[in-house]
Every structure is written in C-alpha cells, then in structure tokens.
C-alpha cells in the first residue's frame, strides 16, 4: 500500500515538473518573439535571405570558372536586391497611384452608381411596404432616408480616411527603408562569411541538437511543399465549380472569371468571398436580383464544398488525420488569425515528424 502511494506521488511529482518545464519553455519562447525578435529582425531576414541564396551560390561556384563562393554570394545577393528593389519601387508607385485614383473617384462613383441603386431599392421597398403596412409608410421613409444619409456621410469620410492612410504610409517609409538598408548590408556581410558564421553557430550546439535541427528543417521543407500541393488541389476544385456555375447561369467568359476568383481564393485573408460577396451586393443594389441569387447560390455551394474538403485534403497531403487537421486549423485561426490557420497544420506535421524521427515519448 505504501509503495503504491509513493509510486502515485512520484508520478504526480514528475507530471508537475514536466508541466512546469513546458510552461517555462513556452514563456521563454514568447519572451524571445515578443522582445528579442523585433529588435534583431533585419539580421534574421538577412540570414534567411543569405541562406536561401546559398544553393544557387554553390551551383554557380561549381559550374563556372569562378570558384570563389564569397564573390558569387555578394553578386547573387546584390542582383537579388536590385531585382526586388526595382519591382517593389514600381509596385509601390503603381499601387499608390491606383489607390489615389480610387480615392478621388469614390464620391463620383457613389453619386453616379451606388446612390441611384439605393434609391431604386428604396422605391421598390416602399411599394412593398405600402402594400402590407401603409399606415407606417411615413415612418419607414424617414428611417430609410436617415440610413441613406448615414451611408453617404460614411462614404465621404471613407475617402478622407483613405487619403490620410496614404499620407501615414508615406511617412512610415523612411523607417522602413532604414530597416531594409540594415538588412541589405547584413545579408551581404553574412553571404561573404556564410560558412564561418554557420560553423561558429554549429560549434556552440551539440550533435544531438544539430541532428534535431536538421530533422526540423527537412520536415519544414516537406510540409511546405505538401501544403502548397494541397491548396493547389483545392484551387482547382474551386475553379471547376465556379466555371460550371458561371457557364450554367450564362456569364460571359466563365473560365477566365473562375480562374481569377480561384487564384484569389488561395489568399486566406480574402478567399472566394472577397470577390463573390461584394459582387452579390452590387447586383442587389443594381436591381438584378436574379443574378444576385444565382451568384449567392454558387458562392454557398463553393463555400460548403471547401469547408468539407479543405481539412481532408490538407490532412491527407500533410499526413494528418482529418479531424486533427480541422482542429489545429480552427485553433490556429482563433489564436493567431488567418496566418495561424495556415501555420498550425505545418507546425503540427513538423512536431509529429520530429517526435517520430527522434524517438521521443511525448505521446503514444
């Protein structure tokens, strides 16, 4: 009896020690990401960029007459930043100009298109309201007019807020460029001494830690590939559904429109609803109720099918049970938003592979 009590006490003590250990590790990780990572972010970005360029650097050093990896490292990093910088500069000017044009046109678009559509909807609803409750028609008109005035004021204020956002963005650019400048310089220095830097860090770690890091790296690369494959399959299914639906309702260029929405659907923050929902609302405001209902039905079918197949396809590609994939995606979404929903299955697979290959006993 006494031995059983000691055994039970020992199990409880070990459980509390393990719990405290895990909690301490999680707290340290949170503190590192919250306080340390933001400070050293330019150097982390620089190291990641240099590390990603190293396979190309090694290939160039092996295949060309110039065998100096340091020179190739500097050259590849320089060309990469020139290309990215040129593209980013072009994109910033294009997007800024495009947003500025939209901001200027919002009031005109509202008065020329949206407001007439709202008035048409008001006229139709008044006739319907007059049929069923004519004694309250005056009150109804007063409420609707107040709503339209509120929408008008909101649209006009939105235009001003977008203009102020552009100004704030412009003021934030200097700080952004300072960070980018440090990252560029750091990545060039890291590329020049990449082998010495990596060897220094390797000497600070044990063989087991290096083996675990290699396992995590391989697992991460495999998980990313499988994750992309899963969402390509989902996008193809969405494209097929939309193409059939648009063809059935007689939309012009159904395949092109479906392809554009399917590509947009791969962006988790927006998804199919980012295009379909505003489209339905616009058609409702313009009085084309038939098309609005048809689009709403297509959107409902696509959303239902996606919610059913997404956990299953992602789980199969990543090697997770469908229920577990759905669970971690939901938890990631609730804790960290859409980025959490994307990262949670990948991190779960990495943890599972890490557990299996390192012969750990975290679970049975």
Residue range 130-171, pLDDT digits in tens: 666 666 666 666 776 777 677 666 666 665 666 666 666 666
Question: What is the C-alpha radius of gyration for the chain, rounded to an integer number of angstroms?
Answer: 28
Q: How confident is the model at residue 104 (pLDDT cuts 50, 70, 90)?
A: low
Quickly count: other Cβ atoms within 10 Å of residue 222's Cβ: 16
Q: What is the pLDDT of residue 200?
A: 83
Q: What is the pLDDT of residue 21?
A: 75
Give pLDDT tens digits for 263-282. 877 765 556 777 888 888 77
**Contacts of 128 by beta carbon, 8 Å cutoff, 6+ apart:** none
**What are the CA-CA distances from residue 359 to residues 19, 70, 209, 213 (Å)?**
20, 39, 14, 15
pLDDT at position 292 over 80: yes
Q: By C-alpha distance, which of 239, 249, 242 is closest to 288?
A: 249
> Token digits for 223?
């998980």
Q: What is the pLDDT of residue 171?
A: 65
Are the C-beta atoms of 191 and 76 separated by less than 8 Å? yes
Q: How confident is the model at residue 5 (pLDDT cuts 50, 70, 90)?
A: low
| Domain extents in the chain | 1-204, 205-364
Give pLDDT tens digits for 204-230. 777 777 777 777 777 777 777 877 888
């Amino acid at each position: 009896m006494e031995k059983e009590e000691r055994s039970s006490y020992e199990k409880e003590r070990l459980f509390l020690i393990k719990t405290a250990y895990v909690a301490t590790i999680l707290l340290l990780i949170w503190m590192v990401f919250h306080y340390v990572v933001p400070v050293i972010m330019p150097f982390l970005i620089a190291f990641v960029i240099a590390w990603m360029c190293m396979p190309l650097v090694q290939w160039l050093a092996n295949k060309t007459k110039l065998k100096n990896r340091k020179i190739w490292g500097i050259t590849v990093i320089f060309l990469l930043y020139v290309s990215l910088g040129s593209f980013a500069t072009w994109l910033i000017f294009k997007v800024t100009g495009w947003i500025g044009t939209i901001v200027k046109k919002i009031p005109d678009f509202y008065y020329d298109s949206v407001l007439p559509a709202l008035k048409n909807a008001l006229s139709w609803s008044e006739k319907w309201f007059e049929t069923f409750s004519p004694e309250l028609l005056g009150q109804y008109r007063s409420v609707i007019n107040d709503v339209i005035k509120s929408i008008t004021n909101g649209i006009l204020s939105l235009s001003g807020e977008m203009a102020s956002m552009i100004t704030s963005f412009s003021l934030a650019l200097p700080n952004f460029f300072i960070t980018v400048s440090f990252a560029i310089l750091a990545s060039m220095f890291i590329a020049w001494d990449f082998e010495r830097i990596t060897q220094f860090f390797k000497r600070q770690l044990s063989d087991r830690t290096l083996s675990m890091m290699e396992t995590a790296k391989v697992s991460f690369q495999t998980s990313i590939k499988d994750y992309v494959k899963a969402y390509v399959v989902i996008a193809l299914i969405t494209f097929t559904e939309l193409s059939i639906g648009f063809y059935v309702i007689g939309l012009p260029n159904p395949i092109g429109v479906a392809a554009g929405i399917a590509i947009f659907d791969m962006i988790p923050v927006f998804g199919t609803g980012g295009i379909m929902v505003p489209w339905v609302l616009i058609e409702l405001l313009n009085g084309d109720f038939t098309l609005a209902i048809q689009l709403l039905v297509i959107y409902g079918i696509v959303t239902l099918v996606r919610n059913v197949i997404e956990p299953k396809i992602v789980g199969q590609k990543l090697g997770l049970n469908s229920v577990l994939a759905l669970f971690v995606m939901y938890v990631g979404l609730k804790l960290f938003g859409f980025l959490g929903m994307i990262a949670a299955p990948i991190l779960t697979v990495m943890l599972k592979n890490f557990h299996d290959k390192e012969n750990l006993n975290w679970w049975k």
